[in-house]
Structure 1
Amino acid sequence: MDVTVVRETREGETRVAMVPELVGKLTALGYTVRVEPGAGDAAGFTDADYEAAGASIDPDAITGASVVLAVQPLPVDVVRRLPEGTTTISFLPVNQQQSLVADLRDIKVTSFAVELVPRISRAQSMDALSSQALVAGYRCAVVAAGLLRRFFPLNMTAAGTVPPADVVVLGAGVAGLQAIATAKRLGAVVKAYDVRAAAAEEIRSMGAQAIDLDLETLEGAGGYAREMTEDRAARQRELLTPYIAAADALITTAAVPGRTAPVLVTREMVEQMGPGSVVVDLAAESGGNVEGSQPGEVVRIGRATVWGGANVPAQMPGPASRLYAQNLVNLVTLMTADGAFAPDFDDEIVAGACVTHGGRILHEPTRQALEGPSQ
């Protein structure tokens, strides 16, 4: 069985689906690992690194591939060259890639979307959303510190005292908690808010102050928040306004895969922030938590500099690739039996992550969107 690692072609994508240090994990399972030339260059891994780890560099690696590992969904022209029965494992946003899903079905390719891995304890080591959110959360805090033209930490000197920066973080999932932890390590005074009741204790565990708005909590499935009514959203924005107005830096991280990010902060709220303030919107690519933020751009709103995130994990490709590659190794290991790739579709993780198999769409919401309700 061959495992093929492709070279990413999407603009701005610098990650790679497998790193040299983990190639041995796959060969130990009985796989031959083939890597497209230059696959790891943007992440700092050379072809020679892969060869030293036991992989082969092959310009035609995709030809006759058994299992294809990628970060982004494979381009349509590549999918149409895959042999029937090939397996692909990558991010695959099914709502935005329905025509690609139809091609995968028609060509009888088995496809797994890593963002569909169930959020259960047994699957934590395969949770690519969490591993990449960790990278993004760290990056957000570093970006905020870099854009803010003042110190994050308190400094007491003979020339006087420089007070610490005030940072507010909205959203306390994996990315938000990492942003909190990083801002705290840099010395800022951090306050954070999340609509989930359990998040307050997690915020405090990071050394930050949990903002209590005395509003109904919104616990949802899979550890995510459920959607709020417009009345509650308006009241939340009203209560958050003084915290945001007083902040030197605001970091927003609230997002749910496959859904438009909630607008937590209006333009008017940002306009109340002080001169030189900074806003970092991690969710800009999925609609934005901050009204007026633009993915991949830095804009001015009032007196604040607003940075919109776009494929933020790819801005730290080395660690992001290592974490993602480990997720894939764990997933492939789960689906390997007696030296062969043999996914057990009775397994909750395998079934949950599978989009297409044997000429059928197994992910039911996507199947209904493309084929309509079952008769």
Structure 2
Amino acid sequence: MTIAVPRETTPGERRVALVPGAIERLVDAGLTVAVEPGAGSAAGYPDAAYEAAGARVTEGAVDGARVLVGVRAPTVEQVGRLDAGAVTVSFLPTRSELELVKTLRDKGHTAFAMELVPRISRAQSMDALSSQALVAGYRAAIVAAEKLPRFYPLFMTAAGSIPPARVLVLGAGVAGLQAIATARRLGAVVQAYDVRTAAAEEVRSLGAEFVELELPVLEGAGGYAREMTEERSRKQQELLAPYVANADVVIATAAVPGRTAPLLVTREMVEAMKPGTVVVDLAAEQGGNIAGSVAGEEVTIGNALVWGAMDVPSALPGQASQLYATNVSSMLLLMTTEGVVQPDLDDEVLAGCCVTADGEIRHEPTRSLLEEES
């Protein structure tokens, strides 16, 4: 049974779904892996390393494969080259990929979306959202430090003292916590806010101050944040305004799985920022936490420089790929019995992230979207 690792086709995407170390695990489990030439080159993994790990490097890796793994969703063309009833494992943003989902369904393929992996103990090694958020949070703090026209740490010199930069992190999930930790290591004074009060302990453990607003707690299933009402959103923005105005750096990381990112900072709040403020919006691709941010672009609004993040993990492709490959290979091994990939859709983890199987849409929100469309 062949697992295909194609080159990523999305412009700017430098990650690869499987690295040589992960392929060794799969080969040891009796699986065959075929890799397209150059699939790992941008991430620092040459073809020779894949061959040494036991993979076959071939331009026709996808043709007739039973399993296709990827970082981004597969293309319709790739799906058409797979064996009947194949398995695909990748990120699969169903809201923007409805035509692809229909193709996967119509061809009888079993498609798994890495962003839907349940947040339970058993699935931690497969939690790709967390592994890639770790990379994004670190990178966000570094980018902000590079663009900020002042020091991060406190300096006390014969020429005078320079106070530390003030960093405000919005959202204290994996990305936010890593941004906090990195900014603290660089010497900044950090404040952080999250709608989940349970995040307060983690924020404080990193040496940051947790911003507490007088609002109802919003925490959904699995520890994720959930959507809020428009009235509550306005109140949150109003209460956050003084913290935003006082910050030298604002790093926004808040996201609700499968939904548009919540707007935390309005245009008026951005325009009220002090000169030299740097804003990093990690949620720009999901609609943005910051009004005016544009994914993949750097814009100036009032006194602030606003950097709209796009595919941030690709900036550190080697280690981002290493982490993601562990997630993917762990999922494949969960599906594997005696050298054959046979997904058990009664398994809680696999059922939770399965989008299509047996000619049906199994992911309820996606099925509802398709019904609305028709």
1:49 aligns with 2:49: yes
Structure 1 segment 166-245 matched on structure 2, within 5 A:
166-245=166-245
In structure 2, what is the equivalent of residue 79 of structure 1? Answer: 79
CA distance in structure 2 between the partners assigned to 1:363 and 1:353 by the alignment: 8
In structure 2, what is the equivalent of residue 350 of structure 1? Answer: 350
In structure 2, what is the equivalent of residue 16 of structure 1? Answer: 16
CA distance in structure 2 between the partners assigned to 1:77 and 1:222 by the alignment: 35
Give 1:242 deviation, angstroms. 1.1
CA distance in structure 1 between the partners assigned to 2:229 and 2:44 by the alignment: 46
Amino acid at match of 2:70: A
Percentage of matched positions with identical amino acids: 63
CA distance in structure 1 between the partners assigned to 2:342 and 2:107 by the alignment: 19
Amino acid at match of 1:116: L
In structure 1, what is the equivalent of residue 4 of structure 2? Answer: 4
Amino acid at match of 2:50: Y
RMSD: 1.3
In structure 1, what is the equivalent of residue 145 of structure 2? Answer: 145
In structure 1, what is the equivalent of residue 105 of structure 2? Answer: 105
Give 1:300 deviation, angstroms. 0.5
In structure 2, what is the equivalent of residue 291 of structure 1? Answer: 291
Q: Secondary structure at the match of 1:300?
A: strand
Gaps of 5+ in 2: none
Give 1:166 deviation, angstroms. 0.4
Structure 1 segment 261-272 matched on structure 2, within 5 A:
261-272=261-272
Give 1:311 deviation, angstroms. 1.2
Give 1:350 deviation, angstroms. 1.0
Moved over 6 A (4+): none
Amino acid at match of 2:19: V
How many residue pairs are counted as aligned between the two chains? 373
CA distance in structure 2 between the partners assigned to 1:77 and 1:68 by the alignment: 12
Q: Any idea what the Cα deviations from partners look like across 1:253-285, whole Å, max 9, x if unmatched?
A: 001232111110011111221111100010111
Give 1:214 deviation, angstroms. 2.2
Q: Any idea what the Cα deviations from partners look like across 1:105-138, whole Å, max 9, x if unmatched?
A: 1111111111111111111110101111111111
In structure 1, what is the equivalent of residue 115 of structure 2? Answer: 115
Cα 1:205–1:340 change in 2 (3 A) is same
CA distance in structure 1 between the partners assigned to 2:31 and 2:114 by the alignment: 20
Does 25-34 or 154-163 show the bigger shift? 154-163
Structure 1 segment 16-35 matched on structure 2, within 5 A:
16-35=16-35
CA distance in structure 2 between the partners assigned to 1:10 and 1:146 by the alignment: 27
Contact 2:278 2:306 survives alignment (8 Å): yes
Amino acid at match of 2:289: N
Give 1:307 deviation, angstroms. 0.3
Give 1:171 deviation, angstroms. 0.4
Q: Secondary structure at the match of 2:369?
A: helix
Give 1:372 deviation, angstroms. 7.0
Give 1:217 deviation, angstroms. 1.4
- TM-score, normalising length from structure 2? 0.97
Contact 2:227 2:256 survives alignment (8 Å): no
Gaps of 5+ in 1: none
CA distance in structure 1 between the partners assigned to 2:290 and 2:369 by the alignment: 30
In structure 2, what is the equivalent of residue 315 of structure 1? Answer: 315
In structure 2, what is the equivalent of residue 370 of structure 1? Answer: 370
Amino acid at match of 2:147: L
CA distance in structure 1 between the partners assigned to 2:143 and 2:185 by the alignment: 14
Give 1:183 deviation, angstroms. 0.4
Amino acid at match of 2:350: V
In structure 2, what is the equivalent of residue 124 of structure 1? Answer: 124
Give 1:371 deviation, angstroms. 4.7
Does 292-301 or 333-342 show the bigger shift? 333-342
CA distance in structure 2 between the partners assigned to 1:60 and 1:318 by the alignment: 24
Contact 2:164 2:188 survives alignment (8 Å): yes
Amino acid at match of 1:151: F
Amino acid at match of 2:41: D
CA distance in structure 2 between the partners assigned to 1:156 and 1:58 by the alignment: 59
Does 205-214 or 363-372 show the bigger shift? 363-372
Contact 2:36 2:61 survives alignment (8 Å): yes
Q: Any idea what the Cα deviations from partners look like across 1:180-233, whole Å, max 9, x if unmatched?
A: 011001110000001111011111011100011222211112212222222222
CA distance in structure 2 between the partners assigned to 1:225 and 1:354 by the alignment: 22
CA distance in structure 2 between the partners assigned to 1:78 and 1:40 by the alignment: 18
In structure 2, what is the equivalent of residue 135 of structure 1? Answer: 135
CA distance in structure 1 between the partners assigned to 2:76 and 2:106 by the alignment: 12
Contact 2:66 2:82 survives alignment (8 Å): no
